[in-house]
Amino acid sequence: MLKYSVMTRIAFIHNRFPAGGAERITIDVADYLHSLGGDFEVYVYACRIDPSFRKESLTVRKTASKKKERSKEIERLIATDRIDIIVQVTSALYDIDGIRRRTGCRTVLANHGEPFWQRYQIVNRRTNTPFKRLLWRLYNRKRYLDNNLAMEMAVNRSLKQYDSCDAYTVLCNAYKEQTEKAFGISESRSHVYVIENPESEVKEINWEKDNLILFCGRLEQWTKRIDRLLRIWSEVQHTLKDWRLAIVGDGPAGDELKRLAESLKLERISFEGNQADPSKYYRKASIVCLTSQTEGWPLALTEAQAHGCIAMAFGCTEGIKEILGPDGTNGIIVQPFDESQYAERLIETAEMPEDEKMRIRRNALRKRLEYRPELIAEKWRLLFVELMKRG
């Protein structure tokens, strides 16, 4: 069993670093812990690292990408860096039980999605090639049609991950309740913790918005479903003649979405690609839209609120409802997955009187204060302290 010093050393496990929202959260937590003095030291172990990344508050180490090799390397790094706590982001490491036993480190699994989001991934992996789609039509469709089998599989996978960690974090109280109910555990026996995603303050908000509707995120169909937004734009573009739509981001569905835009004869739409700093789009955007199938605590919505935009999304998860609710107060929530209703609400929002838009924007800005980085990072600190006290 490894012995540790008084300083608490924490390692966050990522695939690519930095990349998106989860990585940004790790940096926020590291910055906060670093600001407190010498009680914490933060590391990141990742398969792919931006060579230009430098940050005084954390140390980044590269690992293999293949899961077995990666786990062995991480175990060696835990010993070398004398790590006390590892934070696994979204999914558990291969042989995590063995790593825990051999190193004595505490383990956290941070679920950055909605509970049991894997059910969508399970179906997607059975339909993502022509051969698999044939099998789906001939055999799997009937098995998975009501979603019960995929949900059962997702719950079992999540329960296995829960059992293999000392703390399991979720993004809001409703997710905690859903998780504990599905696992059949009481609150008194639970090691599920609620830690929301943080959102930083924007120092100078641009209130002089353009007639710009914005999507910002990864172009990945099975989660983000940007195809819905393109169909919605085809319904509203002739009504909102002085508005335009910008798609910011890249991903595996990029070419497919561009072809769809051409087939729908979309006007005043631009695919902006990946942007190192998307804030220039948020500064100009009046409305930020998501049409996702699943989201945990979407940073695109909280970033929209922080920049004084009106955020709109299907109310498909409790995280979205928590950020935007009540409907019409902190944002616009549309019934899942009614594209016609979404189009109607989008026109209605675009054509709102300016004072009504400002009411929603200012309400949302106050809402953002509930998940300031220092508040969220303090929740992480308290969790780390509690884990170390368990001995």
β-pair partners for 85: 10, 106
Amino acid 330: pLDDT: 97
Pairing label, strands 40-49, 58-62: parallel
Q: Does any domain span residue 158?
A: no
Tell me, yes or no, whether 176 and 92 share the same domain.
yes
Tell me, yes or no, whether 242 and 287 share the same domain.
yes
Tell me, yes or no, whether 232 and 278 share the same domain.
yes
Are residues 25 and 89 in contact, defined by beta-carbon separation less than 8 angstroms?
A: no
- The domain that holds 244 is classified in CATH as 3.40.50.2000
Amino acid 391: pLDDT: 63
Q: Does any domain span residue 159?
A: no
Tell me, yes or no, whether 328 and 360 share the same domain.
yes
Q: Does any domain span residue 70?
A: yes
Tell me, yes or no, whether 192 and 287 share the same domain.
no
Amino acid 2: pLDDT: 45
The three-class DSSP label of residue 216 is strand
Q: Does any domain span residue 117?
A: no
Single out the residue of 217, 125, 223, 106 nearest to residue 169, CA to CA: 106
The three-class DSSP label of residue 84 is coil
Amino acid 89: pLDDT: 92
Q: Does any domain span residue 125?
A: no
Q: Distances in Å between the alpha carbon of 218 and those of 6, 248, 298, 381?
A: 40, 8, 12, 30
Which helix (H) or strand (E) segment holds residue 176: the answer is helix 173-183
Q: Does any domain span residue 207?
A: no
Tell me, yes or no, whether 172 and 262 share the same domain.
no
Tallying the residues shown for the chain, one arrives at 391
Tell me, yes or no, whether 323 and 377 share the same domain.
no
Tell me, yes or no, whether 383 and 276 share the same domain.
no
**CA 214/CA 280 separation, integer angstroms:** 11
Tell me, yes or no, whether 246 and 174 share the same domain.
no
Instruction: Please give the torsion angle defined by the CA atoms of residues 154, 155, 157 and 158, in that order, rounded to the nearest 10 degrees.
Output: 110
Residue ranges making up the domain that contains 21:
8-112+165-198+372-389
Contacts of 243 (CB under 8 A, 6+ apart): 211, 212, 213, 237, 268, 350
**CA 327/CA 307 separation, integer angstroms:** 19
Contacts of 98 (CB under 8 A, 6+ apart): none
**CA 173/CA 190 separation, integer angstroms:** 13
Say how far residue 234 (Cα) sits from the centre of its chain: 28
Q: Does any domain span residue 136?
A: no
Q: Does any domain span residue 247?
A: yes
Tell me, yes or no, whether 31 and 170 share the same domain.
yes
Query: Can you give the pLDDT of all 391 residues of the chain as single tens digits?
Result: 444 446 899 999 999 998 878 898 999 999 999 999 889 999 999 999 998 898 999 999 999 999 999 999 999 999 999 999 999 998 899 999 999 999 999 999 999 999 999 998 988 888 888 888 888 788 777 777 777 899 999 999 999 999 999 999 999 999 999 999 999 999 899 999 999 999 989 999 999 999 999 999 999 999 999 999 999 999 999 999 999 999 999 999 999 999 999 999 999 999 999 998 899 999 999 999 999 999 999 999 999 999 999 999 999 999 999 999 999 999 999 999 999 999 999 999 999 999 999 999 999 999 999 999 999 999 999 999 999 998 6
Q: How many distinct structural domains can be found in the chain?
A: 2
DSSP class of 51:
T
Tell me, yes or no, whether 263 and 170 share the same domain.
no
Q: pTM of this prediction?
A: 0.91
**Which two tokens mark 387?**
């884990």
Tell me, yes or no, whether 194 and 306 share the same domain.
no
